[in-house]
Every structure is written in C-alpha cells, then in structure tokens.
C-alpha cells in the first residue's frame, strides 16, 4: 500500500519546518552560551568532546552538537553520540519544535527514545528550556514550561545573534 499524497506532503512540510527550527535552536544555543550565564555554566560543565544528537525521527534529519574548546559546535553527523534523543515520529518532533509541547512533557509522554545517561541529558534539557524562553514568545513558553526562565541576556542582542550570527 502506498502512502497518500496528502500525508507525503504533510511530512515534507513538517520535516522542512523542523529543520529550519533545529537550525535556529542551534543558533539559540550559541547565543545563550554567549549571553546567558546559566547556559554557559551548564555547557562549560560538559566534558570536551561530549556530543548530542537530536533527531526528529528515525532516519530523518537531526541536529548534531559537540562540546569543543569554543563552546558548542554543530557537526555534520555523529557516529556515536553520547546522548541521542530521537523522536518516535516526525509529528511528535514537530509538536516540540513548534513550541506546543515542552521537553519535559515530551519525555513524560514517551515521545522520544533516549540513549545515553539520563543525568547528562538533564543538563541538555535545562539548556533547551532556557533557549526556548528566548526563541518563543511568553504566551507559548507559559504553556510548555513548568516555569518560564528569566531572560538575563538582552533580547535584541540575542535575536540578532540567532538571526544573523553576530
């Protein structure tokens, strides 16, 4: 049996949007690493070479991050990441990446598989919560985060960095 055209299209659109948001999530990580003390402290605690792969579904696009001397760097791919977070479906990833479901909600709802140590993943989750507080408007984060983290960094500086990378 073949997948319907409607579903194919839907998946294409969802994957495309997810990829774009993953990119901004990465920029968000870079920006908050630079401007937000909490994220910097978390990431500085990761061992050099520590790697994380966030995948929107099995065999689908992912964001690969690695801790380096410079902070956090994007990788083209990762063979054996220390932490792999792989959503069970593109639709679940789309919910999270478009700010309709928080990471804690997704974890509680068994929306992703996790390989690696849960304690290390917790630090990553705390960072994502903070990055989301910058990327999404408050009416969204209020719904998906248990508590909206305060924004210590200048919001315009952060957005400039997220959008234009400087």
What are the φ and ψ backbone dihedral angles of 88, each rounded to 5 degrees? -80, -25
Q: 21 forms bridges with which residues in the sheet?
A: none
Burial pattern 65-82, b for ≥16 Cβ within 10 A else e, equals bbbeeeebeebeebeebb
140 binds another protein (CB under 8 A): no
116 binds another protein (CB under 8 A): yes
Q: Least distance to another protein from the beta carbon of 42, Å?
A: 11
Q: Least distance to another protein from the beta carbon of 41, Å?
A: 11
Q: How many residues bind another protein (CB under 8 A)?
A: 25
104 binds another protein (CB under 8 A): yes
Give the Å distances, CA to CA, from 57 to 48, 113, 122: 27, 10, 20
123 binds another protein (CB under 8 A): yes
Q: Which is nearer to another protein, 132 or 162 (CB)?
A: 132
Binding mask 39-78 for another protein (x = CB under 8 A): ----------------------------------------
Cβ neighbours of residue 163 under 8 Å, at least 6 residues apart? 27
Cβ neighbours of residue 128 under 8 Å, at least 6 residues apart? 25, 103
- Residue among 47, 48, 79, 147 that touches another protein (CB under 8 A): 147
Cβ neighbours of residue 136 under 8 Å, at least 6 residues apart? 99, 144
Q: Summarize as ranges the residues that interact with another protein (CB under 8 A).
A: 84, 103-105, 107-111, 113-123, 125-126, 145-147
């Amino acid at each position: 049996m073949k997948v319907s055209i409607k579903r194919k299209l839907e998946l294409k659109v969802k994957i495309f949007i997810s990829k774009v948001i993953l990119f901004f999530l990465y920029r968000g990580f870079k920006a908050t690493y630079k401007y937000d003390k909490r994220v910097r402290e978390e990431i500085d605690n990761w061992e050099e070479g520590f790697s994380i792969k966030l995948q929107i579904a099995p065999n689908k696009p992912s964001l690969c991050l690695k801790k380096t001397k410079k902070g956090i760097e994007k990788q083209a791919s990762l063979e054996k990441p220390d932490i792999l977070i792989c959503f069970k479906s593109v639709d679940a990833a789309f919910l999270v990446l478009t700010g309709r479901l928080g990471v804690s909600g997704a974890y509680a709802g068994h929306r992703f598989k996790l390989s690696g140590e849960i304690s290390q993943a917790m630090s990553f989750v705390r960072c994502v919560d903070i990055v989301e507080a910058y990327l999404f408007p408050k009416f969204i984060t209020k719904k998906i985060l248990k508590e909206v983290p305060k924004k210590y960094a200048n919001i315009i500086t952060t957005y400039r960095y997220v959008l234009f990378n400087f």
